[in-house]
Amino acid sequence: MTRRDQLLGALEIGPQWTRRQADLQADFAPMAQSPGAPIADQPASADRHTDADIAAMDWDALQAAVATCTRCDLCRSRTRTVFGSGDPKAAWLFVGEGPGRNEDQQGEPFVGPAGKLLDNMLAAMSLRRGRDVFITNIVKCRPTDATGKDRAPTPEEAAACRPYLQRQIALIQPQILVALGKVAAVTLLARDPGIAVSSLRGTVHRYGPLPLVVTYHPAYLLRALVDKRKAWEDLCLAMETRTIAAGAG
Ligand code: SF4
C-alpha cells in the first residue's frame, strides 16, 4: 500500500482519481463577476485602517493591522486575531470561514479535530502546512452567538474583513484558491448566501484571474462522513486545476 493510500485510508476515503482534463479546461470559463466590490471606506483611526491603507500594506504591516483591527464588532470578544499561517508565497491558498474557540485561543487557523482532518487532507495531496500552503479565513476574529458558541460570520463581518483577505491574496499570489465551506465560497464568489455548497462543487470558479475550487469545510466533514469521498473528488479537481494553472504560468 502506498503512502497516499494509507493517508486516504486515514481519511476513510478511497482514491477517486478520474482524469477530467478536457472537462477541466472547458470549466475555465470567463469569470462571471469580479471579486467582491470594495466596501465603503471606514473612517480612519489608529486601529481602523481604510481599504486604501490596507491595499497598500506589505506583509508585516498587514499582520500588524489585523492584530489591532477594530473594523467590526468581532474585535470586542476576540482573544486573539487569527491572521493565517503558512508560506507567504504559497501556490495553494485554503480559505475557511472564521476562527473557532481553539483558534481564538491559540491564534492559529484550523487547530483541533477539524485542523487535524485538514492536515490529513493536505497530506493526501502531498502538501503540508507551511510548505507551499497558506491557510486563512474569511474573518480573522472569532464570531460567537449570545451563548458564547461559535457561529458563522455575518455578511457584514465578512465585508469588513474582506480587504485583509484581498491583500493577503495579492501579496501571496497563489496559483489556486480552495474555499472550505459555504461561507468562504459565497464570500469569495459573491454568491447568494442561501446557495448550497453542493451546487458550487465540481466546477472551477474564478476569483479574478485565479482558479477557485469549492469543497466542504473539515468541521462539516467530521459530522458528515458520507461526504468525505466528495471532498476527495474536489481535492483531485483542485490538484488537476493547479497543474494546469502552473503549466500556463
Ligand atoms: S473580523 Fe476582521 S474586520 Fe473584524 S475586527 Fe477582526 S480583523 Fe477586523
Tens digit of each residue's pLDDT (9 = 90 or more) over 193-208: 999 999 999 999 999 9
From 47, 51, 83, 157, the mutation candidate for ligand 1 (largest count of ligand atoms within 8 A of CB) is 157
- For residue 102, report the distance from its CA to the centre of ligand 1, in Å: 17
Grade residue 5 by pLDDT with cuts at 50, 70 and 90: low
Q: Does ligand 1 come within 6 angstroms of the Cβ of 158? A: no
Domains parsed from the chain with CATH numbers: 42-248 (3.40.470.10)
pLDDT of residue 94: 98
Q: How far apart are alpha carbons 35 and 177 in whole angstroms?
A: 13
Tell me the average pLDDT across 25-54.
Answer: 50
Does residue 19 surpass a pLDDT of 50? no
pLDDT of residue 247: 83
| Mean pLDDT score across all residues of the chain | 86
Dihedral sign, CA of 109, 112, 115, 120? positive
The pLDDT tens digits of the residues spanning 45-86 come to: 556 799 999 999 999 999 999 999 999 999 999 999 999 999
Distance between first and last Cα of the chain:
34
Which residue has a Cα nearest atom 2 of ligand 1?
161
* Residue 148, CA distances (Å) to 61, 143, 225 in order: 31, 9, 27
Does residue 12 surpass a pLDDT of 60? no
**Residue 86, phi then psi, degrees to nearest 5:** 130, -160
Tell me the average pLDDT across 201-223.
Answer: 97
Does residue 14 surpass a pLDDT of 70? no
Q: How far apart are alpha carbons 169 and 164 in whole angstroms?
A: 9
Q: Which three cell numbers stand for residue 17?
A: 482519481
pLDDT of residue 248: 75
